[in-house]
Amino acid sequence: MEYTLAIIKPDAIQGGKAGLILNRLEEEGFRIRAARLTRLTEPEAGELYAVHRGRPFYEALKRFMTSGPILALALEREDAVAYLRKVIGATDPAQAERGTIRALYAENKERNAIHASDSEENARREVSFFFSVQELLWTVEERG
Ligand code: CDP
Ligand code: MG
């Protein structure tokens, strides 16, 4: 089984959509292995989105991601990384396939409700950005 990282973004938390999004993730077969409601600092948001440093939207993205609480989720599922990208839809909700989380809940290309890791390597990096190995292991049901 594979892990990926999802973040329910400040717009969706503020808009009261966290429960609906979590429900959808569970219905899609993801197991929640770790979760944390937190608020990113500006350096944390910068580190998380380091690949976008220098892009025109980078500063605004950091402001948005630090504007309110987020819910970070370590999710487990077969083919988790690729499957979650399908379930969330395109970055711009206007381009997102009907029924995807972004098509349903995103406001616009920036305030787009949810983040998902885009590769297995980034999933490992992003899961460990938020969660310790202990936190991940302690919550695996099979351990009792
Ligand atoms: O989140 P995703 O992987 O689909 O998109 P990205 O290209 O990795 O961009 C990361 C985030 O930056 C997006 O989810 C948007 O919140 C924001 N963004 C933006 O505000 N304007 C853009 N033109 C592109 C991305
Ligand atoms: Mg991305």
CA 101 to ligand 2 centroid distance, Å: 15
**Predicted pLDDT at 140:** 78
Please say if the pLDDT value at position 139 is more than 60: yes
Kindly list the distances between the CA atom of residue 107 and the CA atoms of 15, 34, 80, in Å, as whole numbers in the listed order: 10, 26, 25
Mean pLDDT of 14-36: 98
Any domain includes 98: yes
49 domain-assigned: yes
Residue 32 belongs to some domain of the structure: yes
Q: Give domain status of residue 59, yes or no.
A: yes
91 CA to centre of ligand 2 in angstroms: 8
E strand spans, the chain:
2-8, 31-38, 70-77, 114-116
Q: What are phi and psi of 25, to 5 degrees?
A: -60, -40
- Residue 143 CA to ligand 2 center (angstroms) comes to 33
pTM listed for this prediction: 0.97
Q: Give the chain's domain count.
A: 1
What's the confidence (pLDDT) of residue 34?
Answer: 97
Give me 113's structure tokens. 């409700």
For residue 30, the domain's CATH number is 3.30.70.141
Q: Does 39 belong to an annotated binding site?
A: no
Residues 64-95 have pLDDT tens digits of 999 999 999 999 999 999 999 999 999 999 99
Residue type, 35: A
CA distances from 8 to 16, 25, 73, 138 (A): 11, 11, 8, 23
Question: What are the tens digits of pLDDT across the range 111-130?
Answer: 999 999 999 999 999 999 99
What pLDDT score was predicted for residue 131? 98
For residue 144, being part of any structural domain is answered with no
Catalytic (active site) residue 52: no
pLDDT, tens digit, 9 for 90 and up, residues 26-73: 999 999 999 999 999 999 999 999 999 999 999 999 999 999 999 999
**The pair of three-digit structure tokens given for residue 46, joined into one six-digit string:** 């910068």
In a domain, 110, yes or no: yes
pLDDT > 80? residue 134: yes
**Is 26 within a domain?**
yes
- To the question of whether residue 108 is assigned a binding role by annotation, the answer is no
Pocket mutation for ligand 1, best pick of 9, 61, 105 (most atoms within 8 Å of C-beta): 61
- Domain of 24, in residue numbers: 2-139
